[in-house]
A and B are shown apart, each in its own frame.
Chain A
């Protein structure tokens, strides 16, 4: 039988050709035969994969090259913080993990006194981290937004210390792989607690100041490019504005139609301005007069509270390090709020 050489097209690079993004590189090479087994095999493999379902979610530590000590060290180095090994280990152990371990030992019939775990859980660190975070965040926001009433401060604070935000931060600094807890994948509340424990550990190992900077860098930064009025919903802004003006002894706010376009169309647009004694307070667009008026009142409030789009950026980084918090008093509440008092 004569030996036959066939020409086959082979993909040269597994990656796409960087010069032309949409094309792979191919070349024609001589081969002994067409490999007719390849396509059917791939088909069967795909079918089996589909039948078996997706890969089960497994913890990173299931893989052989998992080195917990190295991970802990890397965690600190990534954040540019120095932790004591024992403190960091404690901060990452949740009570649920200890319970699980105890139960496992009991199930195996090991008496708890004989082989005690000698491990501490992180509840203490969580509590200290939480209290530090609560006080520092409020102080920081009061310093950053001196004109915002206490109600607003509380709403911003509530957003920052919410489980969603804290768990988001915790996941993205790489805590979800290294915490020890019973639930897998770790629940949001567990992640949030871990972050608090890390802050507590930092305060314990380093200093209160260092822990505060950590909060500033990782938690309060979640506030950047957020609209404060989205976090703090004022139900009836016009009434609030009238109330403020009344207390200032100024004329009541008067909404005026500035511009309008396409009133009889579905794309109607109204611009409403708010004036008090012919003095401009704020303006906003809207699809109906009512919406435009409400938004204009909101705009007037945002101007009064110093929360406009172009307000001074929050002090982070270098400015954040120079921030001296000297105000330990609450901002005045919305009912007592006065322009003269807040400045």
Chain B
């Protein structure tokens, strides 16, 4: 029996070129640094079979894009330029304004830039799924097989600690009984 490809080799190839689905939580993450990492996965640069001309990237589902954290004064001073093509049609939108209009737009633009100028960029962007909060459609959730590590750990906010935890937190000194806080 002569087959064009061995049965084992066929499924092996299927596995090699299979597209994985990664979950990325953008909460309190720098979108520009995150974009570099996401673009790497979208292009398939984390795989040994990577080649710039091959479309071998994976899918990335990003949640909580409404909670991205821009460094320094970027919310105010990062400008997104657009020109309508008509006279006087130029406009500059600051990052906070853009974020108010669409909570996924800042990260989308950051990833778009990080994907580079190759012809595969649009295919790569098709594989990026952005969600402002952590609500993902069930059918998309079923595809996900792995998650990407966040660039920096999200610290726990004070209101997330229980009363007991705060009370038992080790203290250097006790306030005097008669000391009035605030």
Contacts and interface: CB of A to CB of B under 8 A. Distances in A.
A229 B6 contact: yes
B143 A263 contact: yes
Give the size category of A's interface with B: 20 to 34
A264 interface: yes
Given A229-B6, A261-B143, A265-B143, A286 B21 contact: no
B1 A264 contact: no
Contacts, number: 69
Nearest to B141: A264
A48 B62 CA distance: 68
Interface residues of B, number: 22
Interface in A243-286: 259-265, 267, 269, 271, 284-286
Given A230-B3, A269-B14, A286-B14, A262 B19 contact: yes
Contacts of B178: none
A91 interface: no
Given A233-B1, A269-B14, A299 B8 contact: yes
A227 interface: yes
Contacts of B2: 164, 230
A89 interface: no
Interface in B36-51: none
Nearest to B59: A262
Nearest to B8: A227
A262 B8 contact: no
Contact of B8 (A229, A263, A271, A292): A229
Given A230-B1, A262-B20, A271 B15 contact: yes
A178 interface: no
Interface of A: 159, 164, 227, 229-231, 233, 259-265, 267, 269, 271, 284-287, 291-292, 295, 298-299, 302, 309
Interface of B: 1-3, 6-9, 11-12, 14-15, 18-21, 59, 139-140, 142-143, 145-146
21 contacts: A164-B2, A227-B9, A229-B6, A230-B2, A230-B6, A231-B1, A259-B145, A261-B145, A262-B19, A262-B59, A262-B145, A263-B143, A264-B139, A265-B19, A269-B15, A284-B11, A285-B14, A291-B11, A295-B8, A295-B11, A309-B8
